[in-house]
Amino acid sequence: MWFWLALAALLCWSGSDLFSKIGCVDPKDKNSHLKMVIMVGLVMGLHAAYEVFVGGVEFSLHVMWTYLPVSLLYIGSMALGYLGLRYIELSISSPICNSSGALAALLYILVGERLVPMQYVGIGLVAVGVVSLAFVESHEDEELRAMRQAKSNHKYAKSFWALALPVLYCILDAAGTFADGLVMNKMAEEMAVKAVGANAAPALMEQTLEAMSETAASMANVAYELTFLLAAVICFVIAVIIRKDKLTVKAEGPKFIGACFETAGQFAYIFAIAANPAPAAAMISAYCAVSVLWSRIFLREKLSWKHYLAIVVAIFGIVTLGAFDA
């Protein structure tokens, strides 16, 4: 079952990449990233309501407040990622953004956590791939760029923000992942102590802590989705009420589809990782490779062989990290 859940997460998240790109690519729409946040927040809010009223997940303002820093890091990274899609090919943006796992692993190393040797190899490959990709993109000859983009649906020029925004996404998402682990452990420990007491037998405490970790994860996910809904309301006020922009079915349709894929991918990811963590993580981490494939087929993005070589190195590193994730 884990295989099909992991496959669903992979296809959903790569589909989210594709439709988010389609929804945010128009350079004339200065509020496209805000509208994307609105759509994702709307869908996540609906899913949170389902989890609370149908799934029976407990809603807690304390959990929402405790998890708020993590939520803001994730939401901020996604907003920057949506903004960045306006300036650069999805084929380049997705592998850079998805390298956040390697950066998060480095943060864990800095606080003393040990990794298996192959995870260090994975981090190195990701670093080489991303740095090479940035170098190739920033030093590409303009005539060669124009030639390879001739049949693409969109044309892109060199700019600081083209690379800066995906890198900022990577940094914020890595910080969110690192903080997520710390906050989730703290929440689970507080729930376990409340359930059995601080002086409980070690075996009982360990068993309770494992059960509370799952409960904490469900409550934190609801808190994250409701925070995203609040962010959507803020973006709606800015884009529609203050800036007088309009939401139309034709323009926002791809954004809504991308939001549905994003939320469905998150749902499948949680259960796939719970069922079989290591192989599921490795499989899902390769979704940016599928995003590159979709961008070649549907967006007609064509990169140079140097771009593709750097992307392959980065993706191989990402998958290596996932495969050896304990």
Identify which has the larger pLDDT, 152 or 215: 215
Average pLDDT over residues 157-166: 83
The per-residue pLDDT for range 54-104, each reduced to its tens digit, is 999 998 899 999 999 999 999 999 999 999 999 888 888 999 998 888 888
Average pLDDT over residues 148-172: 79
pLDDT at 10 over 60: yes
What tokens were used for 128? 């080489």
The per-residue DSSP string of 118-153 comes to HHHHHHHHHHHHHHHHHHHHHH--HHHHHHHTTTSS
Q: Note the pLDDT of residue 244.
A: 95
Evaluate whether 232 touches 47 at the Cβ level (below 8 Å). Answer: no
End-to-end CA distance of the chain: 20
3-class SS at 199?
coil
Number of Cα atoms under 13 Å in the Cβ half of residue 251: 16
| Burial category of 238 from C-beta neighbours within 10 Å (exposed 0-12, middle 13-18, buried 19 and up) | middle
Number of Cα atoms under 13 Å in the Cβ half of residue 285: 25
Q: Note the pLDDT of residue 238.
A: 97
3-class SS at 244?
coil
Phi, psi of 211 (to 5 degrees): -65, -40
Evaluate whether 170 touches 96 at the Cβ level (below 8 Å). Answer: yes
Average pLDDT over residues 188-194: 85
Evaluate whether 4 touches 281 at the Cβ level (below 8 Å). Answer: no
Q: Note the pLDDT of residue 155.
A: 67
Q: Note the pLDDT of residue 319.
A: 85
pTM value is 0.88
| Highest mean pLDDT (candidates 90-94, 181-185, 229-233) | 229-233
| Burial category of 112 from C-beta neighbours within 10 Å (exposed 0-12, middle 13-18, buried 19 and up) | exposed
- DSSP 8-state assignment for residue 57: P
The per-residue pLDDT for range 270-294, each reduced to its tens digit, is 778 766 666 677 778 788 889 989 9
pLDDT at 300 over 90: no
Evaluate whether 325 touches 277 at the Cβ level (below 8 Å). Answer: yes
Q: Note the pLDDT of residue 122.
A: 87
What tokens were used for 73? 């890091």
Q: Note the pLDDT of residue 151.
A: 62
Question: Measured between alpha carbons, how far is residue 102 from residues 20, 56, 95, 111, 209 in Å?
Answer: 24, 35, 12, 15, 27
Q: Note the pLDDT of residue 227.
A: 97
Evaluate whether 302 touches 311 at the Cβ level (below 8 Å). Answer: no
The per-residue pLDDT for range 11-69, each reduced to its tens digit, is 999 999 999 999 998 888 899 999 999 999 999 999 999 999 999 999 889 999 999 99
CA 73/CA 77 separation, integer angstroms: 6
pLDDT at 311 over 70: yes
